Amino acid sequence: MAHEGPPVDTDHLARLYRQMFLIRRCEEEAARAYAMGKIGGFLHLYIGQEAVGVGALAALESKDHVVTTYRDHGIALAKGMTARAMMAELFGKETGCSKGLGGSMHMFDAANGMHGGYGIIGGHIPLAAGIAFASKYKEDGGVTLCFFGDGAVPIAGFHEGIGLAALWKLPIVFICENNEYSMGTPLSRTLPTSEVANYARGYGIPSDRFVAEDVLEVERRIGEAVKLAREANIPTLVEVKTYRFRGHSMSDPGKYRSPEEVEARKQRDPLFRARTQLELHWDMARLDALEASVEEEVADAVKFADESPEPTAEILAPTTYDGPFAS
């Protein structure tokens, strides 16, 4: 599915770089807040994988949908969630996107088509197929992107979701963010093949496989799959090779990887690549101003989250005790 891309639109690249830099800085500040005890529970950072989410979502239209895993902060920001709403949710505050009730693993923004991060590995994949079914049934032209990690591939939900999408010809793109480790277990110990994309053959659907070091390349390749889904209701399995620079979560010291391995991958940081491309066309003052605007946005988000109120009993009532699921 690879093809030669058009000349670089530096303004577009700058927008994508800004999104990636915003995600990187939000995640770094989230890690700092977690260490200070301001964020509880689990915290799975997207640092190193930003080009996947930003590039993929750049290929979407506003009417499209996204479902992802518990490593969801970056995807939420790329789909249009504000840094304030995301950070406040991490802090467990009522101004968060889920009113502080979801936390790190459950970012949700229905208005922007962000249908959640999910904590159960692979469990969200059939749900994404259901959202794609709804788009086809309503004939609204929407496409669903479903993100998951390589650790979800042996799970039944992966096969059920892709099987239904292939059978019913649903407008969906399955994106495996293959960061080479299922928590601390390397891919070689969890799958009988080194290529997740091979699984598409069993379901008779197209596949693609590439390394996510260039955000524009991610946008182009995912864009091809999105076009196929939108115009022909043909699902695609896309394996995107990526790498997380931090541990699986904040509680993971990552000792299963050598410092040399991690450092070598950091030398191929997609943010560095995008910034280097921009430096060829922009003067440093303009690039510094872009990054300064992100720093201001992140500082504002942290301050907003820190000063926002905690959820009250009144918030709990309609979502639990008195809501549609009460019995």
The CATH number of whichever domain residue 213 belongs to comes to 3.40.50.970
How far is 6 from 11, CA to CA, in rounded Å?
A: 14
| pLDDT exceeds cutoff 80 at 245 | no
State mean pLDDT over 228-249. Answer: 89
State mean pLDDT over 102-130. Answer: 93
List Cβ neighbours of 168 (8 Å cut-off, separation of 6 or more). 133, 136
In a domain, 319, yes or no: no
State mean pLDDT over 123-152. Answer: 96
The encoded tokens of residue 62 equal 């506003």
Per-residue pLDDT of 25-74, as tens digits, reads 999 999 999 999 999 888 988 888 999 999 999 999 999 999 999 899 99
CB 67 within 8 A of CB 118: yes
- pLDDT tier, 2 (very low <50, low <70, confident <90, very high otherwise): very low
In a domain, 300, yes or no: yes
In a domain, 327, yes or no: no
In a domain, 325, yes or no: no
Residue 140 or 185, more confident = 140
Query: What pLDDT sits at residue 194?
Result: 81
Query: What pLDDT sits at residue 247?
Result: 67
In a domain, 21, yes or no: yes
| pLDDT exceeds cutoff 90 at 289 | yes
- Average pLDDT along the chain: 90
Query: What pLDDT sits at residue 3?
Result: 41
CB 136 within 8 A of CB 233: yes
Chain-centroid distance, C-alpha 53: 4
In a domain, 232, yes or no: yes
Three-state secondary structure string covering the chain? CCCCCCCCCHHHHHHHHHHHHHHHHHHHHHHHHHHCCCCCCCCCCCCCCHHHHHHHHCCCCCCCEEEECCCCHHHHHHCCCCHHHHHHHHCCCCCCCCCCCCCCCCCCEHHHCEEEECCCCCCCHHHHHHHHHHHHHHCCCCCEEEEEEHHHCCCHHHHHHHHHHHHHCCCEEEEEEECCEECCEEHHHCCCCCCHHHHHHHHCCCEEEEECCCHHHHHHHHHHHHHHHHHHCCCEEEEEECCCCCCCCCCCCCCCCCHHHHHHHHCCCHHHHHHHHHHCCCCHHHHHHHHHHHHHHHHHHHHHHHHCCCCCHHHHHHHHHCCCCCC
- 67: containing domain: 13-304
CB 128 within 8 A of CB 168: no
Number of domain units in the chain: 1
State mean pLDDT over 232-255. Answer: 83
- pLDDT tier, 262 (very low <50, low <70, confident <90, very high otherwise): confident
Rg (CA), the chain: 19
For helices 50-57 and 270-279, angle between their N-to-C axes, nearest 10 degrees = 60
- pLDDT tier, 264 (very low <50, low <70, confident <90, very high otherwise): confident
Query: What pLDDT sits at residue 249?
Result: 67
**Pairing, β 181-182 against β 185-186:** antiparallel
How far is 93 from 101, CA to CA, in rounded Å?
A: 8
| pLDDT exceeds cutoff 90 at 285 | yes
Q: Could you tell me what percent of the chain has a pLDDT over 70?
A: 93
CB 179 within 8 A of CB 245: no
Per-residue pLDDT of 164-223, as tens digits, reads 999 999 999 999 999 877 776 767 777 788 899 999 999 999 999 999 999 999 999 999
Angle at 116 between CA 48 and CA 27, to 5 degrees: 30
In a domain, 323, yes or no: no
CB 169 within 8 A of CB 233: yes
In a domain, 318, yes or no: no
